Amino acid sequence: MLGNLDNEVIFKKAFTDKFVLECFVRDLFGIDFVPDKVETERRFKPKIAHIDFKYDIFAQSKDERVIVEIQKIDYDYNFDRFLLYHNMAIAELQRSATEYKSTKTVYTIVVCTEKYVAKEKDETAIEDDILIQNSNLFTLNNEERNVFGHKLIFLNHNYIKNATPQGYKDWLVLVQESIKNPEHPNINLANHGIRKAAELIDYEKLSPEELTESKNRHAAESAKEAYATFYKHEQAIEIANNLKKLGLSVADIAQATNLSEKEIKRVVFGKIDIKK
């Protein structure tokens, strides 16, 4: 049985392993990356531009830098947030540099476990398994000039497609199966990185401390979601009361608030037999 990669404790258990991280980065970017050090909750000191931010997982070697971040609750500013993180990591390279040009490359990887809330500027829903922001230069003919090389990538298992490249798909399926089918996961064990990750997050092999921490994290997230649901419902009731004052019917209020007509009659109008 797999531990849930939607849980931050389990995620870090898998991706702080150097071998897993090497395989993950190679499958995504095709580069040989050997991490010298893997850190969690990494912050830059002093802060960059007075902005205090941290990376869930931060790894670097002598010639490459890779930053891995998991984001479970997908806020509407998700893409902007990680673009900022990515750019701050690039800016941080200049602190010890003797000139503007850096020999290091920043790869920021964001693993999302919920469907996207953010939309395109024309309000089109975003439903892509892989999204990449490439910082290189391009000609008007769309010919790439590999000057910078920095990349920001978003991965989301909710949008796996038949055309998803196998290297990406292996990791997306691992995340998906750990959440939706942990007892009988259908994952690609021929991929050595996937096999090692699965071994690390085998629920039966987690230490008592890891189990306790993961349960505490799950309880905290569940409580947060419960409070969010409660306050969302309270707001819907308040809106329903305001719409009642405007003279809207039960059916119209139900359509506007997503509350059931039965609940609107009981809570807002105070009786069941009211006409629509």
- What pLDDT, in 10s, does the model give residues 148-174? 889 999 999 999 999 999 999 999 999
Average pLDDT over residues 117-144: 90
Question: What's the whole-model pTM score?
Answer: 0.75
Binned at pLDDT 50, 70 and 90, residue 219 comes out as low
Average pLDDT over residues 204-221: 63
Question: pLDDT exceeding 90 applies to what percent of the chain?
Answer: 28
Residue 218 has pLDDT above 80, yes or no: no
Residues 240, 190: Cα–Cα separation, whole Å: 55
Residue 209 has pLDDT above 90, yes or no: no
What pLDDT score does 275 carry? 46
